[in-house]
Amino acid sequence: MSCHTAPKQPLDCRSDGSWVEKHAAGQLKELVCIRCPLGCALQGQLAEGEWHVEGNGCPRGEAYFIKEAANPSRTVTGLVRVTGGQLPVVSVKTVPEVPKARVMDVARGLARLEVRAPVSIGQVVEEDFLGTGASLIATKSVGKKA
């Protein structure tokens, strides 16, 4: 969705044309932290332009909450077709994470992508995939068909 399409929830338009969830000052936001096995129930409020976070059992929880509140992003994993390879597909992931609003765009884009064998683990399959700033990195090696 671009900023030219009206959203169904309160969102702000970013300069890159993507949407970010709008948070009013004093509005309470709740998340479950996934940075460690504790799974702390985090609560935060935006006051004077800063997030005030409670419920975190370690410093990673506060950092996770602020990142998720300000700029939610995800690592996208998937499969890309391989031509002339010992396997028909190679697994890939995005590095760095992509904005959460672009995850489905990236997933659909993976379905249209095709690479030639051989592919090495760690190889950059595609740089700046779909203008997200993230590269697609192979997470498996696929040799040429004999």
CATH number at residue 122: 3.10.530.10
Q: Are residues 42 and 93 in the same domain?
A: no
> How many domains, the chain?
2
Q: Tell me 105's DSSP state.
A: H
Is 6 inside a domain boundary?
no
Is 3 inside a domain boundary?
no
CA distance 79 to 77: 7
Give me the pLDDT at residue 50, please. Answer: 86
CA distance 130 to 104: 11
Q: Looking at the predicted structure, is the pLDDT value of residue 18 above 90?
A: no
What are the contacts of 23-29 at 24+ separation with CB within 8 A?
23/69, 29/69
Q: Are residues 83 and 62 in the same domain?
A: no
pTM for this prediction: 0.74
Q: Are residues 85 and 59 in the same domain?
A: no
Taking only the tens place, the pLDDT of each residue in 29-55 is 899 999 999 999 999 998 888 889 999
Q: Are residues 64 and 101 in the same domain?
A: no
- Half-sphere exposure of residue 16, counting CA atoms within 13 Å on the CB side? 12
User: To the nearest 10°, the Cα dihedral for 124, 60, 21, 109?
Assistant: 20
Both tokens of 83, joined, read: 């031509």
Q: Are residues 82 and 67 in the same domain?
A: no
More confident residue, 1 or 60: 60
Integer-rounded Cα radius of gyration of the chain: 19
Give me the pLDDT at residue 49, please. Answer: 83
Taking only the tens place, the pLDDT of each residue in 48-105 is 888 899 999 999 999 999 999 988 999 999 999 999 999 999 999 999 999 999 999 9
Tell me which residue has tokens 């709008």. 22
Q: Are residues 67 and 108 in the same domain?
A: no
Distances in Å between the Cα of 46 and the Cα atoms of 61, 69, 139 are 16, 9, 38
